[in-house]
Chains A and B, each alone.
Chain A
Amino acid sequence: MTTTGTTYPWAVGFVAGDRPQVVTERFGYEDSFTLARYEATSGYEGLKAAVAKAPNEVHDDVRGATVLGRGGAGFPAGIKWGLMPDGVTPRYLVVNGDESEPGTYKDRLLMERDPHQLIEGSLICAYAMGLSQVFLYIRGEMPLAQERVATALNEAYAAGYVGTNILGTDFSVDVVLHWGAGAYVVGEETALIESLEGGRGEPRLKPPYFPAAIGLYGKPTIVNNVETLSNLPWLMRNGIEAYTAIGSETSPGTRMLAVSGHVARPGVFEIVNGTTTFRDVIFGDDFAGGIRDGNDLKAFVPGGGSAPWFTEDQLDLPFEAKPVGAAGSMLGSGAIMVMDDTTDVPAAALTLCRFYAHESCGQCTPCREGATWLENILRRIVDGHGTRRDLQMLVEAGSTIAPGAFPHASSERLGLDANPFPYKMTTICPIGPSAYVPVNSALTLFPEEFEARVAANGDGPRPIPVTVASNPAGGGS
């Protein structure tokens, strides 16, 4: 376990503090992304430990340590790997480096600052599962991450860590760098596969077939997040006991967390699962340091743009999926966005809703049309032209995308079921319902701000304005 207790001004956005570091231990070095530095700091030791074992023992280690997926859903990686049918080749690993959930920032830092760690993690996965090829899919808008990963791959090939007969064993696998071209929906694992096959990044329906069974080219495929794989070198090097000693029983280890918005010191932190609370992270002196300018907290988004909002009542919840889920939200992709008491809530909801409307792939009508309607109605309310009828329409449009999903006063009046999170959906992937999450949170937590906005305009219906797409040349996503 390494602790540095230092803040590195050149490490943009990163504050180490005095905490255990699993994936960020090399961030303290200015040349953390080079092979020389990586090898000098126990680089590729994890891979050596892995290839000394039988592949199924490595898989057992990952399963035994309960390495949770860090991409958003939090599904245990070992179990996900285990869903692959035995003895079927070819089989693939696709590394999901297409990070763009609003508020999320960790994968880009991991790829830019420690690309070898990601490559080593991918190789450990490839060895454990007997994979034919690894594809590293990096978001298109991240040239520095692409550059650093490409350079690291070139170094790793030259040094014998990747390619034929890795480390002098029979284990051989190629790692190929692939990059995207700007579409948020491609972060969804089946859309990622569609995109890697050269198509439009539209999510596939699942079930019946999950990628582990039928994935890339119809073959068994593991899709793992960058941070998930970056955990593996440390795990293989230090063993299950050291790994599970950090964090809680159900969520061992650490996770990376980006705190942004109206805080005194926005940054990316590696925190201990289960024991750290939202209050620690938002108000702690070695974390974000409280609300900027001495203002008060109004609300915060606990897990990326698609997570329902929390207020100060939920500040003492720990970072663990269960209690956060029971409180009606989710941990998601490790992103906290903080709003202080100067925030215009309807405008903030519009901003997030517009993101999802813009990024809809267009495949499912409720998402394509519904999210756009939500955006249009919200914009009218924010511009001061909305009526009370518009509030009703927000709820109705939201219920069309996610029927009966969100408990609040309006749904009761409309006779809809009030189900806890996660929502029921009328769409293939969760982007559509995600567009309604900020709208519903804002309406539920701060109804008075909407009431005030529509008070002058009465109850009557108003015509729907025709809006012009904000980026007419930008294509379909």
Chain B
Amino acid sequence: MARLTDANVALANQIISRYPRKRSALIPLLHLSQEQNGYVTEDAMVHIAELVDVTPAQVYGTATFYEMFKFHPVGRYVVNICGTMSCALLGAGELIDRAEETLGVRVGGTTDDGLITLEQAECQAACTEAPCLQVNYRFRYRVTPDELDQLIADLRAGTLADEIPPHGSLARVRQQIPADRWVRPVAPEDVDGEPLWMPAPEEASS
């Protein structure tokens, strides 16, 4: 049920073909499955394992390492408040307190209506615009607690629906490589095996 759709399998195969080895496509494919379901389902991980010729455990092992993959449903909007140095110096703590109060959930929680998940993030690379936050990874700069309340009200009223796509839609960015200009990656058989330049054991010992 939550395996990749036919359209996404076609896309997945296109992505896989860009790499000399299939497994390299793992993270892009996990993004793709998160785009399809809003989170990475177990079935999708099994399906991805089939597509890239590794075991489901290897897919799970990779997926759980990364912060952005979710394994259970989250809100349509994930609000990530940065709490690292520059943001902390300029009031990230108050921002997080206000968010918890306004949303009625603690960090890590999702509102009862399933609309908003609150998270605290480590450095988001917008330090000169501190304190900052991201909604589905789209930035909001120099946020005051009152602006945060306004943002949450806007998310609830649905007025930002055009501007901020639902959680998991990152992979919508597609690279198009035209067939006539595509060099194509080195074939797997040329990549596998011993590095050619390494001296053979007998040469090394003589």
Contacts and interface: CB of A to CB of B under 8 A. Distances in A.
Interface stretch (B4-12, B64-72, B143-151, B153-161): B64-72
A200 B127 contact: no
Interface of A: 12-13, 85, 87-90, 99-105, 107-108, 132-133, 139-144, 146-147, 150, 153-154, 157-158, 160, 162-164, 172-174, 176-184, 195-201, 213-214, 217-220, 258-262, 266-268, 301, 305, 335, 337, 339, 343, 347-348, 351-352, 354-355, 358-359, 361, 470-477
Nearest to A262: B89
Contact of A305 (B84, B128, B134, B186): B84
B85 A174 contact: no
A351 B84 contact: yes
Most chain A CB neighbours (cut-off 10 Å) among B71, B123, B130, B175? B123
Interface in B1-38: 18-21, 23-28, 30-31
A144 B121 CA distance: 18
A259 B130 CA distance: 11
A219 B195 contact: yes
B75 interface: no
Contacts, number: 245
Interface in B128-176: 128-130, 134, 137-139, 141, 170, 173-176
A405 B135 CA distance: 40
Given A180-B66, A183-B67, A477-B65, A143 B123 contact: no
Closest 5 CB pairs of A and B: A163-B181, A182-B67, A181-B66, A198-B26, A198-B23
Given A157-B176, A176-B19, A196-B24, A88 B65 contact: no
B197 A88 contact: yes
Interface string B172-206: 01111110111111100011100111000000000
A132 B196 CA distance: 15
Overall SS of chain B's interface: loop
Contacts of B67: 181-183, 471, 474-475, 477
Given A102-B86, A163-B178, A355 B123 contact: yes
B127 A104 contact: yes
Given A154-B176, A180-B27, A476 B65 contact: yes
Interface string B36-71: 000000000000000010100000011111111111
Contacts of A217: 20-21, 191-192
